[in-house]
Amino acid sequence: MVSLAEQDLTLVVKRLRRAQGQIGGIVRMIEEGRDCEDIITQVAAVSRAIDRAGVAIISTGLKQCLADSGGIDTVDSEKLEKLFLALA
């Protein structure tokens, strides 16, 4: 398992906190009886933000694995493929 550097994940954490705020906004929109189209637009935005965060985490881990190995192929391709597919 790769431990990811905190500095590499700062933008991911910001993106996830923004998504967290958007989810709260979606809940309020539902409670207020807002238009379905507006709610779905916000749900789609949160979904994209979370997907991008997942890809950023995977790519950061891959970059770190390659740097730690000196470019030698030590990445478990099957495991990496499963991680990407989990986001599909």
Please tell me the pTM assigned to this model.
0.72
User: What average pLDDT does the structure give for the chain?
Assistant: 84
CATH number at residue 49: 1.20.58.1000
Look at residue 1 in the predicted model and tell me its pLDDT: 47
Identify which has the larger pLDDT, 52 or 44: 44
Indicate the number of domains in the chain: 1
Phi, psi of 69 (to 5 degrees): -90, 0
Specify if 16 maps to a domain: yes
Section 12-18 average pLDDT: 91
Specify if 1 maps to a domain: no
Q: Is 53 exposed, middle or buried (0-12, 13-18, 19+ CB in 10 A)?
A: buried
Torsion of the alpha carbons at 49, 20, 44 and 37, rounded to the nearest 10: -150
Q: Is a pLDDT exceeding 70 seen at residue 69?
A: no
**Domain of 13?**
6-87
Q: Is a pLDDT exceeding 70 seen at residue 47?
A: yes
